[in-house]
């Protein structure tokens, strides 16, 4: 087991980063917002975290702090113009936002264009990455015990009714997007600081699809589900040798199977089994 | 120079429009965003390429590609959307299952054809270009534009003047009322998917011919651009998709000519974002924005 762990430490790092990304989307989905800009928030923080380390020699922790702050601000800026959009319209607008940022990163000198940035110090080790994941999980757990969590659930289930009982639904939508941006930003800096180089393609629509798939497989309205979904999606093709060659088909089939047969995701199956 | 760019834009735009018409037809009838539309676009181009490479005449291969695309569309509905329709799953879940199908189709295509680029053998590119004053048009461009236009006019006729078209419009307007009035819902939806996917497939084949290049990733670019087109035109509006497609084609070609090719795609998504924020109904969308 220990040798499996050490020989696959890269995989475990990846797993925690994917879990953070899924959590960042889960926060938005829990408020009923299909906002698909998480990969873009991740990219903003990844680039800022990389540039600060490469050209200013900043250590990891300030990189995470500044990167996550920037992605949070970006999420807040995005939240304002899209505040009137719901459902697929919100999804499309946020996808468009992500694509614009990807094209900008492809064309700027600062971001190294399509070739991206390299020589990023690989100082985000497994302990740091899992430390970040645990801190985010604790923070989300504490949040889930507040009144705000109730407001989030009410906004998701019925926005009009939630407003009727005095929930500030606009505030819920704004702050969940911002929180999602912050978590995606942490994941982005960790990604940059554990991968040596980054390119704009790392943060495109393909990445966004992966994040969405992890959330839905786990159960789109639960934080635990998001983590479980990331674990399944990252480990399944690696542990079952036979599936490794068919990774994409497997992902597609799992996704389809969950959507059709377990609409509440793996977390929903668990809840159903318990009750 | 400007006139020539506009002609080029018209050709590119006709393919965008054809692709977007199928996208928006499914949305108009079922309120779902079918993200597997681009995978069908790609699979039709490959099927046509395989047929042409096997010696089938181009026009027949074109029809074969469209037919396959239509059938894949029906299968897509049966597998990914029909079960969800029965349990009223909302808009997020069908969107996700269509991503699942598109991942599977892409992986199968990669398995069969690999990642290499294919070229049509003796495609229409060999014919000499036609000069009209200052404008030069190649045969391939004429065929692309003509076929796209003919297919869109054909769709407009079917929707306006046939029993099937009336059923499709009725289901789009009010599903429950349509069923009460005797419309066979599942059959109408299956035909909607057949038509939408065959048109999306035709757009893929024409794109493959126009650039004389077919790859398994060819759908990636148009998937999101098609979204920009239907947002610009107004979700669910066929006229809007056509007009939006031509506008995007023209704007893109002009931006390549006068600004820079690097920023071409940013313009499409910039326009899309602005339209969503400022006028979510788009140019021709009748329905106001709804909560989903």
Q: How far is Cα B166 from Cα B158, in angstroms, rounded to an integer?
A: 9
A4 Cα to chain B: minimum distance (Å):
29
* Chain A residues with CB-CB distance to B272 below 8 A: 92-93, 96
Name which of B97, B110, B231 is nearest A92 (Cβ-Cβ): B231
pLDDT at A42: 97
The mean predicted confidence, pLDDT, of chain B is: 89
CB contact under 8 A, A95 and B227: yes
User: Chain A within 8 Å of B45 (Cβ-Cβ)?
Assistant: no
Q: Look up the pTM and report it.
A: 0.89
pLDDT digits (tens, 9 = 90+) for B172-182: 888 889 999 99
pLDDT for residue B289: 36
> Cβ A88–B292 below 8 Å, yes or no?
yes
Asked if the Cβ–Cβ distance from A259 to B84 is below 8 Å, we say: yes
Tens of pLDDT along chain A (275 residues) come to 566 666 677 888 999 999 999 999 999 999 989 899 999 999 999 999 999 999 999 999 999 999 999 999 999 999 999 998 888 889 999 999 999 999 999 999 899 888 899 999 988 889 999 999 999 999 999 999 999 999 999 999 889 999 999 999 999 999 999 999 999 999 999 999 999 899 999 999 889 988 988 888 887 778 888 888 888 888 876 776 666 667 777 778 888 888 888 877 777 777 777 77
Cβ-Cβ contacts under 8 Å, B280 against chain A: 84-85, 89
Among A17, A35, A18, smallest CA distance to A27 is for: A35
Min CA distance, B49 vs chain A (Å)? 23
Token representation of residue B177: 């009322």
Residue A37 and residue A97 in contact, taking contact as beta carbons nearer than 8 Å: yes
Query: Is B91 touching A (CB cutoff 8 A)?
Result: yes
Asked if the Cβ–Cβ distance from A99 to B106 is below 8 Å, we say no
Q: Which of B91, B101, B273 sits opposite A97 (nearest CB)?
A: B273
Q: Is residue A212 less than 8 Å (CB to CB) from chain B?
A: yes
CB contact under 8 A, A100 and B273: yes
pLDDT value at position B202?
A: 98
> Of A104, A205, A252, which is closest to B104 when you measure between CB atoms?
A252
Per-residue confidence (pLDDT) for residue A8, from 0 to 100: 72
pLDDT in tens, B49-92: 999 999 999 999 999 999 999 999 999 999 999 999 888 777 77
Tell me if B96 and A103 make a contact (CB, 8 A cut-off): no
B209-221 pLDDT per residue, tens: 998 899 998 998 8
Q: Which of residues 113-152 of A touch B (CB under 8 A)?
A: none
Which residues of chain B lie closer than 8 angstroms to A159, CB-CB?
Answer: 291
| CA B32/CA B93 separation, integer angstroms | 9
Secondary structure of residue A233 in the 3-state scheme = helix
A263/B contact by beta carbon, under 8 A: yes
Task: Check CB contact under 8 Å for A82 and B266.
Answer: no
Q: Which of chain B's residues have a Cβ under 8 Å away from the Cβ of A249?
A: 103-104, 107-108
Q: Which residues of B touch A243 (CB under 8 A)?
A: none
Residue A238 burial by Cβ neighbours in a 10 Å radius (0-12, 13-18, 19+): middle
**Is A89 in contact with B289 (Cβ distance < 8 A)?**
yes
Cα angle A60, A63, A65 (rounded to 5 degrees) comes to 110
Size of interface A-B (CB pairs under 8 A): 129
- Check pLDDT > 50 for residue B288: no
Within 8 A of A251 by CB-CB distance, chain B residues are 103
The string of pLDDT tens digits covering residues B9-57 is 999 999 999 999 999 999 988 888 899 999 999 999 999 999 999 999 9
Distance separating alpha carbons of residues A44 and A70, to the nearest angstrom: 7
**Quick check: A248 contacting B, CB < 8 Å?**
yes
> Chain B contacts of A25, Cβ < 8 Å?
none
Question: 43-102 in A: which are within 8 Å (CB) of B?
Answer: 81-82, 84-89, 91-93, 95-97, 99-100
Chain B CB contacts of A259 under 8 Å are: 80, 84, 93, 96-97, 100
- Which residues does chain B have within 8 Å of residue A106's beta carbon, measured at their own beta carbons? 262
């Amino acid at each position: 087991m220990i040798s499996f762990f050490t020989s696959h430490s890269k995989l475990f790092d990846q797993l925690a980063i994917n879990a953070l990304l899924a959590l960042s989307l889960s926060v938005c989905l829990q408020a009923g917002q299909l906002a698909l800009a998480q990969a873009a928030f991740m990219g903003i923080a990844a680039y800022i975290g990389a540039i600060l380390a490469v050209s200013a020699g900043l250590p990891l922790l300030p990189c995470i702090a500044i990167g996550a702050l920037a992605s949070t601000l970006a999420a807040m800026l995005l939240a304002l113009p899209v505040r009137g959009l719901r459902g697929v319209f919100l999804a499309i607008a946020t996808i468009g936002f992500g694509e614009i940022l990807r094209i900008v990163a492809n064309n700027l000198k600062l971001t190294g264009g399509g070739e991206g940035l390299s020589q990023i110090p690989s100082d985000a080790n497994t302990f740091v990455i899992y430390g970040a994941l645990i801190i985010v999980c604790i923070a989300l757990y504490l949040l889930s015990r507040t009144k705000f969590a109730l407001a989030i659930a009410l906004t998701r289930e019925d926005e009009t009714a939630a407003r009727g009982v005095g929930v500030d639904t606009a505030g819920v939508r704004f702050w969940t997007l911002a929180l999602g941006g912050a978590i995606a930003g942490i994941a982005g800096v960790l990604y940059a600081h554990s991968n040596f180089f980054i390119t704009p393609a790392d943060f495109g629509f393909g990445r966004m699809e992966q994040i969405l798939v992890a959330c839905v497989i786990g159960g789109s309205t639960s934080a635990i589900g998001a983590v479980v979904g990331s674990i399944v999606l990252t480990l399944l093709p690696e542990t079952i040798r036979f599936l490794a060659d068919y990774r994409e088909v497997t992902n597609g089939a799992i996704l389809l199977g969950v959507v059709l047969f377990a609409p509440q995701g793996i977390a929903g199956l668990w809840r159903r089994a318990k009750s | 120079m400007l006139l020539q760019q506009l002609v080029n834009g018209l050709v590119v735009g006709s393919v965008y429009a054809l692709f977007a018409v199928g996208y928006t037809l499914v949305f108009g009838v079922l309120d779902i965003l079918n993200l597997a539309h681009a995978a069908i676009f790609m699979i039709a181009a490959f099927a046509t390429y395989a047929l042409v490479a096997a010696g089938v005449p181009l026009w027949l291969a074109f029809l074969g590609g469209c037919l396959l695309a239509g059938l894949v569309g029906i299968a897509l509905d049966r597998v990914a959307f029909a079960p969800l329709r029965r349990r009223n799953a909302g808009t997020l879940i069908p969107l996700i299952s269509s991503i699942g199908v598109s991942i599977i189709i892409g992986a199968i295509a990669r398995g069969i054809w690999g990642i290499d680029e294919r070229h049509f053998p003796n495609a229409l590119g060999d014919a000499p270009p036609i000069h009209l004053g200052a404008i030069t048009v190649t045969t391939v461009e004429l065929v692309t534009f003509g076929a796209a236009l003919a297919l869109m006019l054909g769709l407009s006729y079917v929707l306006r003047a046939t029993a099937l078209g009336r059923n499709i419009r009725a289901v789009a307007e009010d599903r429950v009322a349509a069923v009460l009035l005797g419309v066979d819902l599942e059959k109408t939806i299956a035909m909607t998917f057949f038509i939408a996917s065959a048109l999306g497939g035709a757009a893929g084949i024409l794109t493959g011919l126009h650039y004389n290049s077919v790859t398994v990733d060819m759908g990636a670019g148009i998937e999101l651009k098609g979204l920009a087109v239907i947002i610009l035109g107004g979700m669910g509006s066929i006229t809007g998709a056509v007009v939006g497609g031509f506008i995007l084609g023209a704007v893109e070609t002009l931006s390549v000519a006068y600004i820079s090719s690097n920023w071409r795609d940013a313009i499409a998504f910039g326009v899309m974002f602005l339209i969503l924020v400022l006028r979510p109904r788009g140019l021709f969308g009748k329905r106001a924005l709804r909560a989903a």
